[in-house]
Amino acid sequence: MTGLVYVLNGPNLNLLGRRQPHIYGHETLADVERDCRTLAAELRLDLRFHQSNREYEIIDWIHAAREDADGIAINPAAFTHTSVAILDALHAFEGPVIEIHISNVHKREAFRHHSFVSSRADGVIAGFGTQGYLLALRRLARLIEEGSK
């Protein structure tokens, strides 16, 4: 394997595919995890895939990532727009971070336009639907490979 990536998902993303398909599509989070695992095998990445509705759990996973992960892909969901604590945790992680949003947050309400996480992220993906997760993995694989040279 060429690296270990944590894919972290914030509040309400457990409802993906079950409500608001016009915004978030029809894929469930289990579908997203399956597709991520298929691509990760191709990219020779190991994955830890998590979702929580609790801010502290996401922070704890970022702390765990400090110990063994080479990169983080994170959709902080609503915590994107509120959480200095998640931003601070990400600052304590040394590897590459990609922020993902399924919807184009800039086309939506003004309160979704600001992200605390973006000031730490190495890249931001928004509006590509759940395909954004796969794009994030491809970018992380490249950044991890470049970082190891």
38 is a site residue for ligand CA2 (CB under 6 A): no
Q: Is 139 in contact with 123 (CB distance < 8 Å)?
A: yes
83 is a site residue for ligand CA2 (CB under 6 A): no
**Considering only 14-22, 34-42, 45-53, 56-64, which stretch makes contact with ligand CA2 by CB under 6 A?**
14-22
CA angle 30, 32, 34 (to 5 degrees): 70
105 is a site residue for ligand CA2 (CB under 6 A): yes
53 is a site residue for ligand CA2 (CB under 6 A): no
Cα dihedral 31, 32, 37, 40 sign? positive
Residues binding ligand CA2: number (CB under 6 A): 16
Element (H, E) at 146: helix 131-147
78 is a site residue for ligand CA2 (CB under 6 A): yes
Q: What is the DSSP letter of 52?
A: -
Interface with ligand CA2 (CB under 6 A)? 12-13, 15-16, 19-20, 24, 75, 77-78, 80, 101-103, 105, 112
